[in-house]
């Protein structure tokens, strides 16, 4: 389950990234509760400090969860680990022969406004070309996509990058969709190519996530209300997570109020990385003297 995954990351992080990653991947690929993890993997826990080993492990966990989800859909899937500047997941269809690269996204609930670069749509298209893959898929939390107009929608249409969400992936897994000789998921990944033919250029920045959801529902002849029910359930989960993450910072605030003056000063100096900045200046000046 999701809470067990978070605890595993906390416990394993001190052992180092490679060892902790191995334990985490073993858990994700063997768990019987994948859907429980997918429901919450799009939100980075506030207790994981920015750029910490825990946060990096959580990011790798999101890659593994997406890879495992593709396997549940009847596809071959592996995590790309050789390069930092590449997609997260490489996928192949045994039945229909196509390949795709995918990028998993998770965001903090405390994150301020995002910009198009945060979604890396154009970069994902480039990674597809480098991998000589047929499709490119971004997997981000449904409610983190811009709700109105955004450059990412034009980029997705121009480069034919599927803007899927964890909720879409969850929906397919939940409905036991699997590729077979008669069922191909290629249209799901190729949506933007089809969509681009029925809109005018002036509408290319308009949010099309609702159209994408409807396309998936109609493609597999699912009940129209099913996905709406799933989104409502997700809203409840996000609200619960909001209480947990807000509580983390409320506790932090209470801890800070209890600091002595000396401890507060020390923490402020540490948070501003003042000693590191002084050391960097000194090292630079020393280098000039020795030049």
146: its two tokens: 């811009």
What per-residue confidence (pLDDT) applies to 271? Answer: 86
pLDDT confidence of residue 219: 93
Residues of the chain with pLDDT under 70: 82-86, 113, 291
Position 224 scores a pLDDT of 82
pLDDT for 216: 95
Structure tokens at 73: 């859909």
CA angle 38, 146, 197 (to 5 degrees): 100
pLDDT at 82: 62
pTM value?
A: 0.90
Residue 113 is predicted with a pLDDT of 64
Judged on CB neighbours under 10 Å (0-12, 13-18, 19+), 79 is middle
């Amino acid at each position: 389950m999701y809470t067990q995954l978070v605890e595993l990351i906390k416990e394993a992080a001190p052992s180092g990234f490679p060892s902790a990653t191995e334990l985490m991947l073993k858990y994700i690929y063997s768990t019987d509760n994948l859907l429980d993890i997918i429901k919450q993997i799009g939100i980075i826990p506030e207790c994981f400090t920015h750029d910490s080993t825990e946060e990096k492990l959580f990011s790798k966990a999101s890659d593994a969860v997406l890879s495992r989800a593709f396997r549940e859909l009847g596809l071959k899937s592996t995590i790309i680990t050789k390069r930092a500047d590449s997609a997260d997941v490489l996928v192949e269809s045994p039945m229909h022969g196509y390949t795709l690269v995918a990028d998993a996204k998770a965001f903090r609930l405390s994150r301020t406004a995002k910009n198009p670069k945060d979604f890396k749509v154009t970069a994902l298209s480039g990674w597809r070309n480098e991998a000589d893959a047929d499709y490119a898929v971004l997997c981000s939390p449904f409610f983190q996509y811009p709700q109105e107009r955004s450059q990412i929608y034009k980029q997705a249409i121009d480069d034919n990058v599927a803007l899927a969400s964890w909720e879409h992936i969850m929906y397919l897994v939940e409905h036991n969709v699997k590729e077979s000789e008669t069922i191909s998921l290629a249209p799901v990944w190729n949506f933007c190519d089809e969509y681009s033919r029925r809109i005018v250029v002036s509408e290319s920045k308009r949010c099309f996530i609702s159209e994408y959801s409807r396309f998936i529902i109609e493609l597999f002849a699912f009940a129209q209300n099913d996905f709406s029910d799933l989104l409502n359930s997700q809203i409840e989960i996000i609200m619960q997570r909001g209480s947990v993450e807000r509580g983390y910072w409320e506790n932090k605030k209470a801890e800070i109020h209890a600091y002595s003056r000396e401890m507060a000063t020390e923490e402020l100096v540490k948070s501003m990385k003042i000693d590191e900045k002084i050391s960097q200046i000194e090292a630079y000046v020393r280098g000039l003297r020795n030049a």
